[in-house]
Amino acid sequence: MFGMGCFWGVERLFWQCEGVSATSVGYAAGGAPNPTYEAVCSGLTGHNEVVHVVFDPRRVNYARLLRLFWEGHDPTQGMRQGNDVGTQYRSGIYVFDATQRQAAESSRERYQAALTAAGRGVITTEIVDAPVFYPAEDYHQRYLAKNPRGYCAVTGCGIPFPD
């Protein structure tokens, strides 16, 4: 599960990845049960806009998903991504087991080294155990497939993930 700004563009990034079998946008890592979009946008729930990614590890490995995550947004911006500001736009990796945690933490270290070498800031990404996932309202699911001219594109910080 990944949070990297507006979940519409993030979902499209992952659904286009070969080996990803399903995506769902929603809310996680907050304090209120069953949040709504309006409540999350108020900043009072503490939830993050996230994408739950289901993938076939025989077709795509977790390292590839982490690469998409790091290159798909600017993990140094804190509680925002571009013009979208608020706790719901923070950078987060929500892991489901110890193997994912180790991979996520290791990839963060590697990407921080690349960012530091390029004179960029410190990564603010939270890496925590996957909290309860609350699916977003139906109109948010596959939003950019239904609204191809939607404005919520993901943009990275221009630094490639190190090989």
> What positions carry a catalytic annotation?
6
Q: At what angle do helices 62-71 and 98-117 cross, to 10 degrees?
A: 40
7 near 25, Cβ under 8 Å? yes
* Measured distance CA(142)–CA(147) in Å, rounded: 9
Question: Counting Cβ atoms within 10 Å, is residue 118 exposed (0-12), middle (13-18) or buried (19+)?
Answer: exposed
